[in-house]
Amino acid sequence: MSENIKISIRGLYKIFGVDPLCALEHVRSGAGKTELLDKHQHVLGLQNINVDMREGEITVIMGLSGSGKSTLIRHLNRLIEPTAGSVKVDGDNVLDYDELALRGLRREKMSMVFQKFALLPHRTVTENAATTLAVRGLSERESTPEARKWLDRVGLNGYGEHYPRQLSGGMQQRVGIARALTSNSPIMLMDEAFSALDPLIRTDMQDLLLELQRELHKTIVFITHDLDEALKLADHLVILKDGLIVQNDEPQQILLNPKDPYIEDFVSDINRARVLRVRSIMKPINGDKTSDVHGEVNLNDTLESVIEKSNGDVSHSYIVTRDNVPVGIVDMSTLVKALVPRVSAEKAARKF
């Protein structure tokens, strides 16, 4: 994973209404979402968004309905114009682009996958997957093999001549993903791409996305309102609430140190043993105190697998290795503590 910043958003505001610039002044001087709506009849979409998205990572934007996720992702390819701020892609401010440059950006650099699939019903699956190349003026002869290749890759071999209506929802979204991949753009924007699918298909699609990502290393911006999905996919997690970023960190860190009651609520129902990894709770190795350990675990093992290994014995401790080199130590008592979310721990403390 490189450290290159691919997309950098600074001071982004979006206000919906008749006179957003005037409303912006009120927001800058401290008006919140409800106040702006009640007093000034403007909807605060986003306020002061600052995020960096790194190349080759999946950045997940999470938040409840109406928190501004779709609004945010649509600023990246300027389907929505911001009220203030900057959006830089590879160092260029997208907001300075003229129509031509913007079209170039949308054609070559970013492709999008939609919640409702948004396939063209009058075109076959192959033609749909080839649209992203066809808009660039490529002939059918050039674009079809590429489209076929990606359709095969997402598991739609042999469905090329079908029409979207003949496919199930999951398959239609595979076409949506193939369409985005066909464009060979380095950035993929996915707005609740899996939310319309039923849970089993959804898990399949998440696995497919992770598998593709291991191979392709795209910069993916993924939107979801589902924390499980966010934790499964995210290299980096951004939590939005009422148009404001409440926390913006590695998912493990958010889970262990939620900054805000809103996030604590969110994370309290999660199966932490399955999500947390050894690296987030280990202590760095000190000295050669490695005699009384009960084995080795990998940096990226989940706590669940460590518990399984220990057979539930809380006195065990393990050496943590990365590429077979010891880097830290984890003992079961820390591990068990990490399993209890902070809120419920506090609640329990108050009770007794």
Partner 1 sequence: MADLLAKAKGGEANSAPWWEFSFPSLDALNKACASFPQSRDVTKGVEEVFLAIKDALRIVLDPLTQPLSWMLEFILSVVQVAPWWLMLPVILLIVYLASKSLRLVGFVAICLGFLAFIDHYDHAMQTLSIIFVCAFLCVFFGVPIGIAMSRSDNLQRIIIPILDMLQTLPPFVYLIPLIFLFSVTEPKLYGIAIILYAIVPVIRLTDLGIRLVDEDVIEAADSFGMTERQKLFGVQIPLALPNIMAGVNQTIMMSLAMVVIASLVSAPGLGVLVLRGIRNLELGVGLVSGLGIVLLAIILDRVTKAALDRINASQKSQ
Which residues lie near partner 1 (CB under 8 A)? 77, 79, 102-107, 110-112, 114, 116-122, 131-132, 135-136, 163-165, 169, 172, 183, 189
* Pairing of β 219-224 and β 187-191: parallel
**Residues in region 237-296 near ligand ATP by CB under 6 A:** none
Give yes or no for residue 186 binding ligand ATP (CB under 6 A): no
Between CA 54 and CA 70 the distance in angstroms is 20
Judged by CB under 6 A, the residue of 71, 77, 132, 247 near ligand ATP is 71
Between CA 227 and CA 181 the distance in angstroms is 25
- Pick from 304, 291, 296: which is nearest to 336 by CA? 304
Instruction: Specify the residue, 6 or 179, whose C-beta has the smaller distance to partner 1.
Output: 179
For 213, phi and psi rounded to 5 degrees? Answer: -65, -35
- Pick from 270, 267, 269, 293: which is nearest to 282 by CA? 293
Give yes or no for residue 341 binding ligand ATP (CB under 6 A): no
**Binding partner of residue 21 among partner 1, Mg ion, ligand ATP, none, CB cut-off 5 to 8 Å per kind:** none
User: Whole-angstrom distance between the N-terminal and C-terminal Cα of the chain?
Assistant: 46
**Binding partner of residue 68 among partner 1, ligand ATP, Mg ion, none, CB cut-off 5 to 8 Å per kind:** ligand ATP
Question: Closest distance between partner 1 and the C-beta of residue 53, in Å?
Answer: 17
> Judging by beta carbons within 10 Å of its beta carbon (0-12, 13-18, 19+), is residue 91 exposed, middle or buried?
exposed
Judged by CB under 6 A, the residue of 20, 63, 258, 328 near ligand ATP is 63
**Binding partner of residue 306 among Mg ion, partner 1, ligand ATP, none, CB cut-off 5 to 8 Å per kind:** none
Instruction: Specify the residue, 65 or 286, whose C-beta has the smaller distance to ligand ATP.
Output: 65
Question: Closest distance between partner 1 and the C-beta of residue 185, in Å?
Answer: 10
Give yes or no for residue 43 binding ligand ATP (CB under 6 A): yes
**Binding partner of residue 86 among Mg ion, partner 1, ligand ATP, none, CB cut-off 5 to 8 Å per kind:** none
3-state secondary structure of 320: strand
Both tokens assigned to 67: 């928190």
Instruction: Specify the residue, 198 or 346, whose C-beta has the smaller distance to partner 1.
Output: 198
Size of the site for ligand ATP (CB under 6 A): 12
Question: Closest distance between Mg ion and the C-beta of residue 346, in Å?
Answer: 33
Between CA 223 and CA 73 the distance in angstroms is 8
User: What is the H or E stretch that residue 310 is in?
Assistant: helix 303-310
Both tokens assigned to 285: 């190795």
